[in-house]
Amino acid sequence: MLHARLAHLPEQSHAHDHEHHQLVLALAGRAEFEVDGRGGEVCRMRACLVPGDARHAFAGTGDNRMLILDLPPQGVSDEDRELLARLFEAPRYPTLDADFQNLLGYAGAELARYGSDPLLARALGGVLLRALHLRLFGETPRPATGPLDMQRLDGHIRSHLARRITVAELAQVACLSPSHFHAQFKDSVGLTPHQYLLKQRLDAAARLLRETDLALVRVAEECGFSSQSALTTAMRRYLGLTPGALRRG
């Protein structure tokens, strides 16, 4: 039966396998995973799906708090079994949007408070699992219905990525007031304009790191980070790994 629990992962690496699927989410801190040879970091922005029977190793980083969903095969309807099979057909490290992170935060707080209650542990696990499933396989979120012209915004961001871009400026591009733009944007994209901008910068930086051997200082410059240190800080905060590690990995 599906069950959610909180756990601290020790820094010392552990390897094992078990027949049930597992979903690992980070409430705080990070952990390194390797599942069937596929490595990845679990952090606020990224989860790990461990298929049943997959040999996996993990090691927490410092003071981490993880929310772990165990999914024993017993007591699962045929319909659910199909959904789970698709979700866990291979190891994955799905990216988590801001709304999912909020949901995760609430679930973590409830578990910290009433974690010994099996009904709550099962219900919260079900909600998280379904929310993740929808993100991976559900209908894509409706396109912006309002006045937001994402193509125009993306174009503007792309062509000015190397310099500082303010939310007020993006609002101007969208022909909206800053506050209205903020509301509209979050409503249709799921991230705040600032988070979205940062994501674009990080995506561009990740691409440069993988495809070129530019020094970090240059990558930072080209992607609009004010210094190499700023790039490293942002990447560590949001992707859970440093530029150097990304390039090597």
Partner DNA sequence: ATTTCTGACCGCGGACGTTG
Partner DNA sequence: CAACGTCCGCGGTCAGAAAT
Residue-wise burial string across 69-98, b where 16 or more C-beta atoms lie within 10 A, e elsewhere = bbbeeeeeeeeeeeebeebbeebbbbebbe
Q: Measured from the CB atom, is 158 or 180 closer to DNA? A: 180
User: Whats the size of the chain, residue-wise?
Assistant: 249
| Interacting residue ranges for DNA, rule: CB under 7 A | 147, 166-168, 176-180, 182, 186, 192-195, 198, 215-217, 225-230, 232-234, 236-238, 242-245
CA distance 49 to 61: 19
DSSP 17: -
Q: Measured from the CB atom, is 122 or 236 closer to DNA? A: 236
Q: Measured from the CB atom, is 136 or 217 closer to DNA? A: 217
Q: Measured from the CB atom, is 126 or 190 closer to DNA? A: 190
Least distance (Å) between residue 71 CB and DNA: 30
Least distance (Å) between residue 17 CB and DNA: 29
Q: Output the CA–CA distances (angstroms, integers) from residue 183 to 96, 141, 186, in the order listed.
A: 20, 16, 5
Least distance (Å) between residue 179 CB and DNA: 5
CA distance 179 to 182: 5
Least distance (Å) between residue 42 CB and DNA: 16
